[in-house]
Amino acid sequence: MIKKNKIMIIVLVLVMGVGLIYYHNQKKVLTIGIFAGSNWDVPTFDYYEMIDKIIVRFEKEHPNVEVQYKSGILKEDYSLWLSNQLLIGAEPDLYMILNEDFNSLSALGALKNLDSIITDDQDFNSDEFYQSTYQAGQYQGKQYALPYEVNPTLMFVNKTLLQQEGISLPKDNWSLEEFYNVCRQLTKDSNNDGIIDQYGCYNYEWINAIYASGIELFNETGTTCDFNNHEVKSAIQFIEKLNALNRGFNITSNDFDQGKVAFAPMQFSQYRTYKPYPYRVSKYSTFEWDVIEMPQSSEQHLTQLSSLMMGMSMRTSAPELAWQLLKEFTYSQASQQDIYEYSQGVSPLKEVTESKQVLKLLEEDTLGDSKIDMRVLSQVMEYPTTNTRFRKYEAAMKIADNQINQALQNNLDLDTSLTALQKEITNYLNE
């Protein structure tokens, strides 16, 4: 009997051993959520090739893991697709997070809090990221995502037009007053036909002036707002004064393309895609341009930064592997350098963005003497951004944008408009 029991135990151990070997030899599947094309709404090519290269590197390091994704999801459909996956409990282990979706996903508990994972990983150092880009993945003081690709706003400058008018290129830390004065000098009827045909700036909006003035419109938790104050009113009055230079003429991007406008705020992605058709400036003219910092009227420099982040599902069954894959996307220098080859944004990793390889690649991208000063880009990336990490931020800003633009277009009384706006957004935040 004892001998029989021993045999059964040995057989059981062998079966368990074979089972364990079989289990460990089975490939673990990790799923990721991505969308087709550019996050910045500009032309892109071979985006899946960039994703596939990351997956190949990861699977080589983790031979028992297979990474899968569903292709063909357009950006405009992605948020709804992800919401549906979350509702049925079938969301990917890891997924891209649009800037406008991050607050809601964090507030609803869809994303895993990464704080403890980051603390336990001795091979991860958050200081490798530009601070503002890393903080973009924080919600109420907790890290729920890592930045994959970011897109700062810079000022395009028509150098040729400035040179023709004998005006020097603005230096670092230039002010709103300097910006206005240059625009005033440049705005004119150049052929004396009674119609203004040369302009100072295109597409400089009220939110640009808010950033330039270092104004925080909301508190950190998004429970209060502050629109009805002198600083906000002054920023909007600056836009009124700037628009008045054009005497009611509606300036378009075509005017800038034809070399009639000196300044235009644009995201870095637009700078990158200005070269290919139909964005090529030389299609319209032969002027040279440069990229500089946005003007500021405050010592508190704030940067306008859009972010594409990646986060981990709260319900992933393989958090350790998902974390390693998340790092392959966001923390690997090879993956991040590919952003400059396959996409149009900026890597949030300092060492990648400030590398000689990236500088060489960007120089190859530009036309003639037009090229970006990497010192300017790095400097802008170091600036902090505003308090935007609360659930109702995106909707509150849509209300503000609509009301302020109506006030500007219809010449409404600013005091009355801002008082009404303050009340409306306060009520919305407290709903």
Taking only the tens place, the pLDDT of each residue in 223-259 is 999 999 999 999 999 999 999 999 888 898 889 888 8
> How confident is the model over 293-304, as a mean pLDDT?
83
Residues 6+ apart with CB under 8 A from 306: 40, 99, 150, 151, 152, 267
Q: Which CATH number belongs to the domain containing residue 158 in this structure?
A: 3.40.190.10
- Say if 420 falls within a structural domain: yes
- Token pair for residue 35? 């969308």
Structure letter (DSSP) for residue 45: -
Cα separation of 221 and 200, whole Å? 38
- Say if 81 falls within a structural domain: yes
How long is the chain?
431
CB 153 within 8 A of CB 304: yes
Q: In the block, which residue shows the tokens 């790092």?
A: 327
Burial of 329-367, coded b for 16+ CB within 10 Å and e otherwise, reads: bbbbeebbbbbbebbbbbbbbbebbebeebbeebeebbe
Cα separation of 70 and 84, whole Å? 14
Which of 372, 401, 417 is the last residue in one of the domains?
372
332 and 212 belong to one structural domain = no
170 and 122 belong to one structural domain = no
109 and 210 belong to one structural domain = no
- Say if 165 falls within a structural domain: yes
- Say if 195 falls within a structural domain: yes
363 and 263 belong to one structural domain = no
Count of domains for the chain? 2
294 and 161 belong to one structural domain = yes
Cα separation of 36 and 78, whole Å? 9
Burial of 196-227, coded b for 16+ CB within 10 Å and e otherwise, reads: bebbbbbebebbbbbbbbbbebbeeebeebeb
Find the domain containing 248 and state its range.
153-304+385-430
Q: How much is the pLDDT for 290? A: 84
65 and 143 belong to one structural domain = yes
334 and 418 belong to one structural domain = no
Which of 328, 343, 372 is the last residue in one of the domains?
372
Please give the single-letter amino acid code of residue 394.
Answer: E
269 and 403 belong to one structural domain = yes
pLDDT higher for 231 or 10? 231
CB 116 within 8 A of CB 318: no
pLDDT higher for 26 or 107? 107
- Say if 217 falls within a structural domain: yes
- Say if 14 falls within a structural domain: no
145 and 286 belong to one structural domain = no
Task: Supply angle C-alpha 176, 178, 179, rounded to 5.
Answer: 60
Check residue 67 and give left, alpha or beta (phi > 0: left; psi -120 to 50: alpha).
Answer: beta
175-231 residue pLDDT tens? 999 999 999 999 998 888 878 889 999 999 999 999 999 999 999 889 999 999 999
Q: How much is the pLDDT for 10? A: 53
Structure letter (DSSP) for residue 111: B
CB 34 within 8 A of CB 95: yes
- Say if 93 falls within a structural domain: yes
76-127 residue pLDDT tens? 999 999 999 999 999 999 999 998 899 999 999 999 999 999 999 999 999 9
134 and 159 belong to one structural domain = no
279 and 398 belong to one structural domain = yes
Q: How much is the pLDDT for 289? A: 81
- Say if 118 falls within a structural domain: yes
- pLDDT over 60 at 19, yes or no: no
For residue 316, the Cα-to-chain-centroid distance in whole angstroms is 26
Cα separation of 54 and 407, whole Å? 48
Which of 372, 395, 414 is the last residue in one of the domains?
372
270 and 354 belong to one structural domain = no
